[in-house]
Amino acid sequence: MRNPFIAGSWVRAENFFGRTAILRDVLEGERDSLWVVGARRLGKTSLLKELEHRALQNPQTPFVPLYWDLQGSADARGLADGLLGSVEDSEAFRRATDIAVEDLEGHSVADMLTTLVRRTVRSGWRLLLLIDEAEEFLTVARTDAAVLPRLRRVFQKGNEVRTVLTATRRLAQIDDLPDVATSPFLQGFIPALYLTPLQPEEARALLARGKFSEEEQARIQERTANHPFLLQLIASRLFESRDLAATLDQVAADEMVSNFFSVDFQTLDARERALLEPVARSGEQSLDELARAAAVSKETAETLLFGLRMMGYLSLENGRFRIGNWFFERWLRRVAAAEPRPA
């Protein structure tokens, strides 16, 4: 039997598990501007690819999807090139809307989008615009701030477009930039939807593909707290090695995994990191203890801790916060131990 697990690249269709509520909100809900916030490797790209797939498969949907990855775009020109590339890559979109790449070439990104919307509507569809790596807007804002309000106007063209942004929490900084503050970019996209770890039964369905024993399955879920990437990584290695203890040790010591945690940790803001470190040091903490340790008000701590829980960085039981999963806890302990304690 072939290894059924995929750890690294995005997944969709029969390889995609869970996320029922968000899929429903996007494909059948009322909101036309959605920001899905999630940590790295929690499944943002997979979610957008699954949305694209479902919209293309479903003959009843009013939407024609377009997936647009902003990574590396850097400025308005880069956004335009990327958007053109997306249209080029999606034959289904070009066919449904009767658009050719030549119709768009040479235009600014905002004009291009306006044309895309107009042609989509004229063909009897609504545009489902699926924007990945939306943090890139932070970089664009530094070089071409004026393009953002223009884009936002197209993103929020009421009934004609439904826009889904995915990004880590960093995107929230965009409305603090001096050039953007006058017309808040994320207005309408807030409150964000959180991409959480998988539900226990969704994780079980995923692991069932490996035909592992009950005990192995339970232990993987306990160690990963159903983080989709960690689940897939461990399951994939266990599928080859058939030795769970060795696999868990290996993953805990893996350079690639600690690098992943370290880059992910940097997407959090300083106050969020200041809340996580005392939890890692002492194993568990209450809200009051954490507000004191991070030197923030209880209210601020509560808001930040809610987001950290939703994204799987923390869990809460009986009023005590703990680090979300064993691997992240081990990594964070090592990092926290290497730093001087705050006075």
Ligand X SMILES: Nc1ncnc2c1ncn2[C@@H]1O[C@H](COP(=O)(O)OP(=O)(O)O)[C@@H](O)[C@H]1O
Question: Which residues form the interface with ligand X (CB under 6 A)?
Answer: 6-11, 16-19, 38, 40-46, 206, 228-229, 232
Among Mg ion, ligand X, none, residue 232 binds (CB under 5-8 Å by kind): ligand X
Residue keyed to tokens 């890139």: 136
Smallest distance, ligand X to C-beta of residue 198, A = 7
Smallest distance, ligand X to C-beta of residue 233, A = 7
Helix, strand, coil share (%) of the chain residues, nearest 5: 60, 10, 30
Among ligand X, Mg ion, none, residue 86 binds (CB under 5-8 Å by kind): none
Per CB under 5 A, the segment of 36-44, 170-178, 199-207, 292-300 that binds Mg ion is 36-44
User: Going by C-beta distance under 8 Å and a sequence separation of 6 or more, which residues neighbour residue 274?
Assistant: 293, 294, 295, 296, 342
Q: Which amino acid is at 19?
A: R
For 58: left if phi > 0, alpha if psi spans -120 to 50, otherwise beta; the answer is: beta
Strand duo 314-317 + 320-323: pairing: antiparallel
Q: What backbone phi and psi angles, to 5 degrees, belong to 196?
A: -100, 170
Among ligand X, Mg ion, none, residue 42 binds (CB under 5-8 Å by kind): ligand X
Per CB under 5 A, the segment of 13-21, 37-45, 252-260, 301-309 that binds Mg ion is 37-45
CB 14 within 8 A of CB 46: no
Nearer to Mg ion, 45 or 226 (CB): 45
Nearer to Mg ion, 45 or 232 (CB): 45
Per CB under 5 A, the segment of 45-53, 68-76, 143-151, 291-299 that binds Mg ion is 45-53
Task: Based on the shown chain and the rule CB under 5 A, indicate whether residue 45 belongs to the binding site for Mg ion.
Answer: yes
Report the alpha-carbon angle 43-46-50, nearest 5.
Answer: 135
CB 192 within 8 A of CB 185: no
The first and second tokens of residue 234, run together, are 């461990």
Nearer to ligand X, 43 or 278 (CB): 43
Among ligand X, Mg ion, none, residue 43 binds (CB under 5-8 Å by kind): ligand X
Per CB under 5 A, the segment of 38-46, 67-75, 99-107, 243-251 that binds Mg ion is 38-46
Distance CA 209, CA 265 (A): 31
Nearer to Mg ion, 44 or 54 (CB): 44
User: Going by C-beta distance under 8 Å and a sequence separation of 6 or more, which residues neighbour residue 73?
Assistant: 79, 81, 82, 136, 139, 140
Among ligand X, Mg ion, none, residue 57 binds (CB under 5-8 Å by kind): none
Smallest distance, ligand X to C-beta of residue 231, A = 7
Nearer to ligand X, 132 or 144 (CB): 132
Cross-strand partners of 315? 322
Nearer to Mg ion, 69 or 216 (CB): 69
Q: Rounded to 10 degrees, what is the CA torsion of 216, 221, 222, 228?
A: 140
Smallest distance, Mg ion to C-beta of residue 267, A = 12
Among Mg ion, ligand X, none, residue 7 binds (CB under 5-8 Å by kind): ligand X
Give, as one character, the DSSP assignment of residue 157: -
Nearer to ligand X, 10 or 326 (CB): 10
Query: Does residue 4 have a cis peptide bond before it, meaning omega lies within 30 degrees of 0?
Result: no
Among Mg ion, ligand X, none, residue 225 binds (CB under 5-8 Å by kind): none
The residues that touch Mg ion, with contacts defined as CB under 5 A, are 44-45
